[in-house]
Structure 1
């Protein structure tokens, strides 16, 4: 009987143990979509160095004229799922929160950067905003065959307490990034060279940081990937860091295990 109890205890602890990062200096690399111009290069670096990341996906305009969540990108997304990466919503039309409307129930001024209403400021209810998060999540699952995490990232990281509460009420927790985790790939090349961005990241990133980059930024002439990505990965590994997905992050782990509850 005692042996059986010990075995049951070990089995119960197994999921938690499996969720622990592979070292005591984890970092959590995440990618938002963007124009997808460096998506292939990013995937090659991640596979080469066995790095698992979390992708936040929106249906953004790409350099080939289609959307980043269109069927034209289906094979790319399915390959990332096969490799063991995780996925989450970035809102379907890359919709920015602009401001809270006064009064109750909660309403928000928002502006999409893609889709039929791109560039227009409109007012949404909490339910409409939730459907925008959910639409991207459903599309990701359709393309990858893998349920996304019950997480989302608001474009630009712009939110309000009301917006976060509305999203959480419909099953989505927001994910930002650490100050040092802003990898700078959306800065104009004239303002920050790749060399400067790499040096800053290797100097400032700390264990537990969430890092953010993109699969292509229109404003940057000097592509960040793979010129910065690969030496960043190898440099952090040389310093004893390991890479984990947000499924393993202590802030989100229990939320994910409960299915967004």
Structure 2
């Protein structure tokens, strides 16, 4: 009995793959777009970094990356000098970049006076709850910008994504005070790559995205997740893009998103 869900998932994936064979490797002409999807990628284990770059390049797609300094499968950190060539190449390709907090800092609760209880995942205070002022939270966002400038010669765009997408009035006020707008994702834009692959197989996640994504939606995935046994990107990124292209969708960075475009021009 336990084999049936796996067989069903495999059948769904095979059907989705067959359906998308022969899809064009480029997005529809701008005038033919039936809508726009905004692909975004948060740093993670970086196990899928090369695959993501290659796939986006082959489809001539510009995406938005949110960067934190996370431990990678190479044994280094995602904002180490060893990643400079990777980030320089993505910047040269025209992608957009936002802060994901340097130490992947989770919001825990708001406190009086605009202060924020947080817990960094990495760095010298990893796993230890702290209470920060708005200025300290801004400093954490700006640490990514400073490192990105060192690696690429250019700064971040004025956007950020809180780890886990968890924000609060104090977090948003702090970020706004130093010029950052928060970017979440659409309900249909949750890739599910952080979930258990046994409960949420790739075929199920792919079908859900292709069925429900609509014009203007922001899609979120990671550049590798340590905990997922069956990685999302190798199975799903190519068929997701091809399937959306077949439906007439185009892709753009958040610089073109109507909710954020004006902020980029400030």
Instruction: Give the corresponding residue for 1:228.
Output: 236
Aligned pairs for 1:117-196 (under 5 A) are: 117-196=125-204
Aligned residue pairs, count: 237
1:51-93 CA-to-partner distances (Å, cap 9, x unmatched) read: 1100000001111221100011111111111111111100000
Q: 3-state DSSP class of the match of 1:226?
A: helix
Measure, in 2, the Cα distance between the counterparts of 1:44 and 1:236.
18
TM-score (norm 2): 0.86
Measure, in 2, the Cα distance between the counterparts of 1:255 and 1:49.
27
**1:144 offset after TM fit, Å?**
2.2
Q: 3-state DSSP class of the match of 1:188?
A: coil
- The answer for unaligned runs of 5 or more in structure 1 is 1-19
Instruction: Give the corresponding residue for 1:36.
Output: 46
Alignment CA distance shift 1:126-1:172 (3 Å):
same
Task: Give the aligned CA root-mean-square deviation in angstroms.
Answer: 1.4
Query: Contact 2:63 / 2:252 at 8 angstroms: preserved in 1?
Result: yes
Aligned structure 1 segments of 4 or more residues deviating by more than 4 angstroms? none
| Counterpart pick for 2:96 among 69, 72, 86 | 86
| Counterpart pick for 1:71 among 51, 60, 81 | 81
Measure, in 1, the Cα distance between the counterparts of 2:170 and 2:79.
28
TM-score (norm 1): 0.88
**1:226 offset after TM fit, Å?**
2.4
| Counterpart pick for 1:51 among 58, 61, 69 | 61
Instruction: Give the corresponding residue for 2:118.
Output: 110
Measure, in 2, the Cα distance between the counterparts of 1:178 and 1:256.
20
Query: Contact 1:87 / 1:140 at 8 angstroms: preserved in 2?
Result: no
